[in-house]
Amino acid sequence: MAYLTGARDDVVAFLESALPDLQVWPSPKFPDQLLADCVVVAPTSVQPAATAAGGISASVDLFVLCATTVGDPAEDALEALLDSVLTVLDAHIVAWSRAERSTFQETYPAYKIEMEIPR
């Protein structure tokens, strides 16, 4: 069983399918310039599931990044992008626990979404 890589692959697949116009990066990259909005999938941990059924639970962070970096248009675009991603997560019944405003690589406006993927 591929614990973290399987969870990452699952998240990448359903995001790419549901949001075909959005770039989905299966691992963090460090671009000099972000040319399009994207989502970065970053597995963070794995632990035994808390249920009697067994299995594991993989923690995965998503970073929703906006290529527009300045002013109100950047905030509006980022919030619309976050809404799109959260709608997809809710449709796939993914247990996300928090979406927090942040900055990715000290440059790009972002939201970090924390979620758990049972495997």
pLDDT, tens digit, 9 for 90 and up, residues 104-113: 878 788 999 9
Q: Which two tokens stand for residue 53?
A: 């059924």
- The set of long-range contacts for 77-80, using a CB threshold of 8 Å and a minimum separation of 24, is 77/37, 78/109, 78/110, 78/111
**Domain boundaries defined on the chain:** 3-118
Taking the C-alpha atoms of residue 95 and residue 75, their distance in angstroms, rounded to an integer, is 25
For the segment 21-70, what is each residue's pLDDT rounded down to a tens digit?
A: 999 998 877 766 778 889 999 888 888 867 656 678 888 999 999 888 77
Spatial contact of 55 and 119, defined as CB atoms under 8 Å apart: yes
Helices (H), the chain: 3-18, 71-91
Annotation: CATH topology of 3-118: STM4215-like (3.30.2000)
3-state helix, strand, coil in the chain (%, to 5): 30, 40, 30
User: Is the pLDDT score of 116 beyond 80?
Assistant: yes
